[in-house]
């Protein structure tokens, strides 16, 4: 057996995710958010084949050094794409059904820890935040967008109650070039005092990052793709880190496991007599990190795992 590849970061709720997926030798499982490969490593050690997705070229580049990518046949197949595209990507490799899918939503530890990626304000870096390293950056958005648009993004994705004040301050301070620039503007606008329990810039950084990467749309499309790909008995495990993500997963599984349908992306689900059969069953109660894991990894504090098992019912949603 090959020696394990050393990983710089261990994903949260690792044991719980693996238990939810129940990997069996020979199974095919999708790691929709490869990152540093912590979930993938454990799955490979269980004897499965993993199709790993990541839009970050740094993650794919690191994964290409794994010996499982060159085995014959390979047990690790890397896809440098968004996980919302997994149906088409797997079809191109001749795979129509999989036995499990895991998603670890949001920014990865690797991205947060690299100042040059511009995801965090703990160390000053360029105001970037692009997971795929292409397209519109955070600086592009904040320096070009109308004040009203910025305020809407801060309110919707950061749940910033004073979004208009912050947006007005951002526009007045243009151009913004670094993470430090943005953090200082937000703190000044909100009257931040050093030593306060939570830095108010956190909400704005979250909002801009989600907008730049279209993260919530990606999650919704990825869940529909998972419903399409999972065979009967296939298992879905999704780890989220804030209420916006968790709400989407919770509502998706609630609708998919009962005779309810979402009448709008922005409205609650509604009961319907002619609703299609449930596509997921055995929806588990949400799981959160225990004290031992929190002591090792404070980032796990906000993590929530939701999981379910695919039924034989045909998919009722259109995957991207």
Which pLDDT value is given to residue 110?
62
Which pLDDT value is given to residue 106?
76
Which pLDDT value is given to residue 116?
62
Which pLDDT value is given to residue 299?
83
Mean pLDDT over 201-226 rounds to 96
Mean pLDDT over 1-27 rounds to 78
pLDDT tens for 237-248 read 999 999 999 999
pLDDT tens for 62-114 read 999 999 999 999 999 999 999 999 999 999 999 999 999 999 997 766 666 66
Q: How many CB atoms lie within 10 A of CB 94?
A: 6
CA-based nearest residue to 319, from 251, 243, 227, 245: 227
Which pLDDT value is given to residue 117?
77
Which pLDDT value is given to residue 266?
46
pLDDT band with cut points at 50, 70 and 90 for residue 2: very low
Which pLDDT value is given to residue 297?
87
Mean pLDDT over 288-296 rounds to 93
Is 303 in contact with 239 (CB distance < 8 Å)?
yes
pLDDT tens for 243-288 read 999 999 999 999 999 855 554 454 555 555 566 799 999 999 999 9
Residue in the structure block whose two tokens are 């939810």: 20
pLDDT band with cut points at 50, 70 and 90 for residue 12: very high
pLDDT tens for 53-66 read 999 999 999 999 99
| Beta-bridge partner residues of 52 | 31, 78
Superfamily classification of domain 117-213: Putative methyltransferase TM0872, insert domain (1.10.150.170)
Q: Which two tokens stand for residue 112?
A: 């947060």
**What is the reported pTM?**
0.89
Q: Angle of helix 147-158 relative to helix 201-213, nearest 10 degrees?
A: 100
Element counts in the chain: helices (H) and strands (E): 13, 9
pLDDT tens for 168-207 read 999 999 999 999 999 999 999 999 877 777 899 999 999 9
Mean pLDDT over 31-52 rounds to 97
| Per-position DSSP letters for 188-234, written without gaps between them | HHHT--TT-SS-THHHHHHHHHHHHHTHHHHHHHHHHHHHHHEEEEE
Mean pLDDT over 18-39 rounds to 97
Spatial distance between the Cα atoms of 154 and 243, rounded to a whole number of angstroms: 15
> What percent of the chain lies above the pLDDT cut of 70?
87
Domain ranges, ordered by start, for the chain: 14-109+215-310, 117-213
Backbone phi, psi, residue 134, to 5°: -145, 170
Mean pLDDT over 116-140 rounds to 86
Is 101 in contact with 227 (CB distance < 8 Å)?
no
Which pLDDT value is given to residue 32?
98
- The CATH class of the 14-109+215-310 domain is alpha beta
Q: How far is CA 217 from CA 18, 31, 157, 214, 306, in A?
A: 26, 18, 12, 6, 18
pLDDT band with cut points at 50, 70 and 90 for residue 52: very high
Which pLDDT value is given to residue 108?
61
Residues counted in the chain: 320
Which pLDDT value is given to residue 194?
77
Which pLDDT value is given to residue 1?
35
């Amino acid at each position: 057996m090959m020696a394990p590849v050393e990983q710089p970061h261990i994903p949260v709720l690792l044991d719980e995710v693996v238990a939810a997926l129940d990997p069996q030798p020979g199974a095919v499982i999708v790691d929709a958010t490869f990152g540093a490969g912590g979930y993938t490593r454990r799955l490979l050690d269980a004897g499965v084949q993993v199709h790993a997705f990541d839009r970050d070229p740094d993650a794919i580049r690191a994964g290409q050094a794994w010996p499982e990518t060159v085995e014959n046949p390979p047990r690790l197949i890397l896809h440098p794409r968004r996980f919302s595209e997994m149906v088409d990507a797997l079809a191109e490799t001749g795979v129509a059904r999989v036995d499990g899918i895991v998603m670890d939503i949001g920014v990865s530890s690797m991205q947060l820890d690299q100042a040059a990626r511009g995801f965090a304000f703990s160390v000053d870096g360029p105001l970037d935040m692009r997971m795929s390293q292409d397209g519109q950056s955070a600086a592009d958005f904040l320096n070009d967008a109308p004040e009203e648009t910025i305020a809407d993004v801060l309110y919707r994705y950061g749940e910033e109650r004073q979004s208009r004040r912050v947006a007005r301050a951002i526009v007045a301070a243009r151009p913004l070039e670094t993470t430090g620039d943005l953090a200082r503007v937000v703190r000044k606008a909100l009257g931040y005092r050093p030593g306060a329990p939570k830095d108010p810039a956190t909400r704005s950084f979250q909002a801009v990052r989600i907008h730049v990467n279209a993260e919530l749309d990606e999650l919704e499309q990825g869940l529909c793709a998972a419903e399409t790909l999972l065979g009967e008995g296939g298992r879905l495990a999704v780890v989220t880190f804030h209420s916006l993500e968790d709400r989407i997963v919770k509502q998706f599984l609630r609708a998919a496991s009962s005779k309810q349908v979402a009448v709008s992306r922005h409205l609650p689900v509604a009961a319907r007599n002619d609703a299609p059969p449930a596509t997921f069953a055995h929806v588990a109660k949400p799981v959160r990190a225990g004290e031992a894991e929190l002591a090792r990894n404070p980032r796990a504090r906000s993590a929530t795992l939701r999981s379910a098992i695919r039924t034989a019912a045909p998919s009722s949603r259109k995957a991207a």
